Amino acid sequence: MDSAWQKVRSVHQWILQNGDKRTDPWLLVYSPVPVCVIFVLYLCVVWAGPRLMKHREPFDLKVVLTVYNFTMVCLSVYMFHEFLVTSWLSKYSYLCQPVDYSTRPLAMRMANVCWWFFFSKVIELSDTVFFILRKKNSQLTFLHIYHHGTMIFNWWAGVKYVAGGQSFFIGLLNTFVHIVMYSYYGLAGLGPHMQKYLWWKRYLTSLQLLQFVLLTTHTGYNLFTECDFQDSMNTVVFAYCVSLIALFSNFYYQSYVNRKRKQK
């Protein structure tokens, strides 16, 4: 037991000492402990929330959700702009881009938007809470919980070790997708009268899938070519995107192909 604890402490110490010194002082970055606590609390909410709501009426969160969704649209627009403009001004390559660990203004600007992207993933855990409070338990799928729960770890590691470089491409694509996604949720939350304008839900799922295919291709290219970017991070991103392609493909099939067959 003591030996195992010593190993945990040793790994923790290594994590603390080997991060990006520029981002270490920023909220939730220096140690993995806060993110681990958030993750455990998230799982507790996922487990306990539906049980606590079982004999209660669902909450009416129309106003809260409208404000939340359109706030997330604004945040996503800001992050997309920062990823796009900063990468363009820094003359980033879309094929291979090492991390600039300097404190130059553009390098710090990119690191800053990477932190905001990570923090947005913490905020997005609220999606699950809103499902629970509205008793939309059918939305608490493995895909939903897996995606939300793991993204905070992926991007904590991104900000801790690779705040910039190839990481920007993930943020650029994902923020664009989230502009579309939260716009859809925001419009849907305005009421049933908006449904006739929301025929494009199927294409939103297709856009999410396309995103993961592009990220897998982009990361795979860097894994099998010479690029001064951490292979360990590229390997994790590649494997993660493959898992999401599989899960989102299954969701697409069940939601649009299989359901259509059953209706016929």
Residue with tokens 């991390």: 99
Please name the residues in contact with 89: beta carbons below 8 A apart, sequence gap of 6 or more: 106
12, 81, 147, 193: the active-site residue: 147
| Alpha-carbon dihedral angle through residues 175, 177, 183, 184, given to the nearest 10 degrees | -150
Determine the 3-state secondary structure of 121 from DSSP. helix
- Distances in Å between the Cα of 156 and the Cα atoms of 56, 85, 117, 119 are 36, 23, 10, 9
The phi-psi region of residue 135 (left if phi > 0; otherwise alpha if psi is between -120 and 50; otherwise beta) is left
User: Is 55 known to be catalytic?
Assistant: no
The DSSP code for 192 is G
Q: Which residues are catalytic?
A: 147
